[in-house]
Structure 1
Amino acid sequence: MLFQSAAILLALSASFVAAAPSPVEVEVLAPSPVGAPLAKRTTHVGTGTVYLQGGNAGSCGETNPDSAIIAAIGNFWMDDESPGPYCGRLIQITNTGSNDGVGGDGNVVTVQVEDTCPSCGEGDIDLSVGAWDKLTNSAAFGTFEISWHFCNVDGQC
């Protein structure tokens, strides 16, 4: 009886050892530049302006029609690189006030970064005609006050 019990325990323990998981090699990827370095809700303020694509590729390498909902941000963000580290990132922009009769106060749009604006300050954004029209109710070109933030890397704004 003792021998039978010992044999059963030995058989059971062998089955647990055989079922023990073996190590698995996992490749850990470094985060892409698109995922850094800002918290998604840091709000920036500046001036919204408009630019024409003119059929030319932006600094992110894409050619977009003027009707595309895109934007250019300053060298402060793009680090004088082409493509810049924020290419493809989404930004949510709010029209916070108008200058020179530009309308659309309170309008909000989400744009994709597709270009660099060499003359833009840290808080300024140069908008495609499509983005301008949504934020200003298709007002004549000028400037207006904006607030904005980067959306997170999953596109949640």
Structure 2
Amino acid sequence: MVTLFSTQGDNEKPLPYIPSSNTISSNSSRKNVLLIPYYNFSRYLETKHPRVAKYKKSILITIGLLILITIIVTIIVTAVSGHKKGDNTNEGGSTDLSGEGDGTYYDPGVGTGACGWLNNDSELVAALNAPQYGTSANPNDSPMCGKFVKVTGPKGSVKVKIVDKCPVCKNGDLDMSSTAFSQIAEMGQGRVKIKWKVVS
């Protein structure tokens, strides 16, 4: 490899040769171009910090490791952040739930509910929103079926049994029998803000 010499007094120091665009052969041009930053870094160390130059390989390895660690940490933080932003349900639903949303009422006596039971409007029952109910192949298998939740609305609280799924309800919503709804709000309101939590 051709070397150059610096003229700093009587101490001549060899400098690494940096290939120019005219001297890079067609067969090795890509390799040499990629090495130019390394040559520049080496020349900088040898001219400005000659004592440090002998550690250049260690310095480059350290820089590479720091970059790698930064990338790994970024990936981990992104993954953890994404997990925290997800809701607390899975395909089969969850039995450790609470929520805030809209409370409405319907007639559970119109047919068999998603849990497989036939109920009537005089019972304290409710249909849970689809996202928190779960998406099991058999809706009867949702672990939320038969769970009791305490619902609090503007008028008071009531404990209802989950017997159905509300397909159009958003996360946090509950669709209750009119008997249950009347204990937390006036019937004329139709839709109210509620908070609820699984109690058994």
Q: Deviations over 1:54-76 (max 9, x none)?
A: 43110011111111100001121
TM-score after normalising by structure 1:
0.61
Between the aligned partners of 1:147 and 1:37, the Cα distance in structure 2 is 16
Q: Deviations over 1:3-32 (max 9, x none)?
A: xxxxxxxxxxxxxxxxxxxxxxxxxxxxxx
Match of 1:73, SS state, is strand
Counterpart code for 1:123:
G
Between the aligned partners of 1:107 and 1:37, the Cα distance in structure 2 is 24
Between the aligned partners of 2:148 and 2:160, the Cα distance in structure 1 is 6
What is the Cα-based RMSD across aligned positions, in Å? Answer: 2.1
Q: Deviations over 1:78-110 (max 9, x none)?
A: 223311220000100000xxxxxxxxx240000
Match of 1:121 in 2: 170
Match of 1:147 in 2: 195
Q: 1:62 aligns with which of 92, 117, 133?
A: 117
Match of 2:182, SS state, is helix
User: How many residue pairs were aligned?
Assistant: 106
Counterpart code for 1:126:
D
Contact kept? 2:101, 2:195, Cα under 8 Å: yes
Q: 1:135 aligns with which of 184, 188, 192?
A: 184
TM-score after normalising by structure 2:
0.48
Between the aligned partners of 1:37 and 1:60, the Cα distance in structure 2 is 14
Gaps of 5+ in 1: 1-32, 96-104
Q: 1:89 aligns with which of 127, 147, 151?
A: 147
Structure with more contact order per residue of length (Cα contacts < 8 Å, sep ≥ 6): 1
Between the aligned partners of 1:113 and 1:43, the Cα distance in structure 2 is 13
Instruction: Find runs of 4+ consecutive structure 1 residues off by over 2 angstroms.
Output: none
Match of 1:9 in 2: none
Gaps of 5+ in 2: 1-91
Q: Which has the larger radius of gyration?
A: 2
Identity between Structure 1 and Structure 2 (%): 29
Contact kept? 1:89, 1:112, Cα under 8 Å: yes
1 or 2, which has the higher helix percentage?
2
